[in-house]
Amino acid sequence: MCGIVGVYGTPYSFQEVYQGLLLLQHRGQDAAGILSFDFNSKDFHHYKDLGLISDVFSPEILAGFSGQMSIAHTRYATVGPKEGPKNAIDKKRDIQPMMINYPFGIGMVHNGNIVNYFQLKKYLQEEKARHLFTQSDLEALINLLSDGLSERSKSAFSFDQFQMAIQGIFDKAHGGFSVVGLLADKGLFAFRDPHGLRPLILGERALTEDEKAAHPKHFGKSYILASESNALNFLGYDVVRDLEPGEILFINDTGEVFSSTSYSKLKKIPQKSCMFEWVYFANPESVLEKRSVYSARLDFGMNLASEIQVLIDEGKISPDIVVPIPETSRVAAISLSETLKIPYREVLIKNRYIQRSFILNTQESRNRAVQLKLTAIASEIRGKNVLLVDDSIVRGTTSKRIIEMVKEAGAREVYFASTCPPIRNPCYYGIDFPDPKELVASDRTVEEVAKYLGADRLIYLSEEGMKKSIGKESLCMACINGNYPVDVSAATEFLDMRSLHRE
């Protein structure tokens, strides 16, 4: 999972994509990059590096940018080499944005995973004589686009040509992905995979008089595309809409917006938005597919409380306090506490400078993070039955250690509630758990998971409770039920190569 943003119209586009990235930092902490294009000088400006956004971009580096069109990316690595100084060069090669010079000059960023990346790599090398230099699946996408446009570049550029080139990508690339890109001197583009697995939102605003004066060739508006609506809200853009599954969008140099949604509609491909956006990844301020993330999490807590109440009525558990595991579960825990009428207590104190342990990309780094991440207030825990609430249980690393910590602080009994049903299957579409051996619930019953974690009782929100909370039937829940909407037959090679890179 990554965060992407593109801005076109304002002469300060590079500043806005930087600020937009800061609002999307929760989506990835490995690396960041910005690419801008200046219509006046016809120049690209580009910088990317490993690290947090604020560390990568100093004021001096940002001062070197100019241009009315920019794209940016914050990376959450699901492929490529593991942590360590000897792998830094290889890791830098995979940082986005990526560029290719022909035709037109193309820059792209993306969020998601291409399951059949290695098949595409072989196809590009053997049939198109295009050799890839990174382990990023975006490089395969940008080469597919370059090849598709090259075949049609002998005549004047048109949206119809562009649309056919992107549809060629849809035919070949299997996975979940949202893409934002730019064509030098032509415009900004975006497209979303045919099932709509990964989010992408379009916004617009009027230019200020200052912006118009700074760029006399303006078209009166500025457009933005971003992974989440919170970036649009902060930058003062009005949300126009979510891009539809399989939508191809292009904004030309006069500000005219072209769009096509024919691919998914003609092929009758059902939408399958990733449920994990509402569970964990998205900022609670964001609205995705017209559904507030904050409201969905309130409903997670309320519906989970209804299921827990049955256990309380049967005398199987008797919680004295409800305790959230920071940060994502806080909203659901408040709602659960209110519904059950059990006191809510924040007795696990988080070190705010520790990265989110789930999106760290090695087990060793996750273990270190858990040790530093939280401390327990023993005086509020001692002698009580504690109901811990978390957004999900993936590997169980954090959950197991926190349960130990709460028991060490003197809890009489510790119950653990998850606002997500058991994650039993790998994700190949951009969430970093593609290996079933890493999943604590993959081959265990609920009781066996509880025993492994050390919990006196483990309660998962039901699948129906999740669907009811999000308010949508059109969800990808493959990690829960094994129903993969996109072909994952190439996943074995993907998993083998990922494991090789991280040994």
Active site (catalytic) residues = 2
CA distance 33 to 19: 12
Angle between helices 117-128 and 137-150 (to 10 degrees): 40
Angle between helices 293-313 and 330-340 (to 10 degrees): 40
Q: Which amino acid is at 153?
A: S
Continuous H helices in 129-190: 137-150, 159-172
Cβ-based neighbours of 116, under 8 Å, separated by 6 or more: 173, 174, 175, 487, 490, 494
Cβ-based neighbours of 415, under 8 Å, separated by 6 or more: 317, 319, 385, 386, 387, 388, 455, 456, 457, 458, 459
Strand order in the sheet with 43-50: 43-50, 31-38, 69-75, 3-8, 221-226, 201-206, 238-242
**How far is residue 288 from each of residues 17, 206, 210, measured CA to CA in Å?**
20, 23, 32
Closest CA to 338 of 402, 405, 389: 389
CA distance 502 to 396: 20
Which structure tokens are listed for 347?
A: 């007795």
| HSE-CB for 292 with a 13 A CA cutoff | 7
Q: Which amino acid is at 499?
A: S
- Helix (H) or strand (E) run with residue 286 in it: none
CA distance 172 to 486: 12
CB 348 within 8 A of CB 374: yes
CA distance 50 to 58: 13
CA distance 352 to 375: 12
Which structure tokens are listed for 355?
A: 């990265």
- Measured in residues, the chain has a length of 503
Strand runs (DSSP E) across 296-425, as ranges?
321-324, 348-350, 374-376, 385-390, 413-418
| HSE-CB for 312 with a 13 A CA cutoff | 16
443 CB burial (10 A radius; 0-12, 13-18, 19+): exposed
